Amino acid sequence: MGNFDTIKDRINILELACDSGIEVKNNKALCISHKEREPSLTFYPETNSFYCYGCGIGGSVIDCYLALYYL
C-alpha cells in the first residue's frame, strides 16, 4: 500500500483534471461534486491538492482521482 506516495508524486493534479475533461482556468474549475456557475473548485499544484470552497470537497491527488471517477 506504500505505493500511494509514489502515485501522489507522479501524477500532476492539473494534468489529471485536464485528462478527465475538466476545464481548468487559473487553477480553478467548476466543481465535480456540486452544481455551480462560478468555479470554486481550486487546484494547488504546489501541494498537488485541491479544495472546493462551495461544498468543501478536497484532498490529495488521490482524492481528486476518486472524486473524478467514482463520485
Q: Can residue 24 be called a binding residue for Zn ion (CB under 5 A)?
A: no
Which CB atom, from 42 or from 54, has the smaller least distance to Zn ion? 54
Query: What minimum distance in Å lies between the beta carbon of 2 and Zn ion?
Result: 30
Say whether residue 67 binds Zn ion (CB under 5 A). no
Phi, psi of 55 (to 5 degrees): -120, -10
What is d(CA 36, CA 55) in angstroms, rounded to the nearest whole number?
A: 10
Query: Is there binding between residue 30 and Zn ion (CB under 5 A)?
Result: no
Question: Which of 54, 70, 55, 50 has the alpha carbon at shortest distance from 8?
Answer: 50
Applying CB under 5 A, the residues found at the interface with Zn ion are 31, 33-34, 52, 54-55
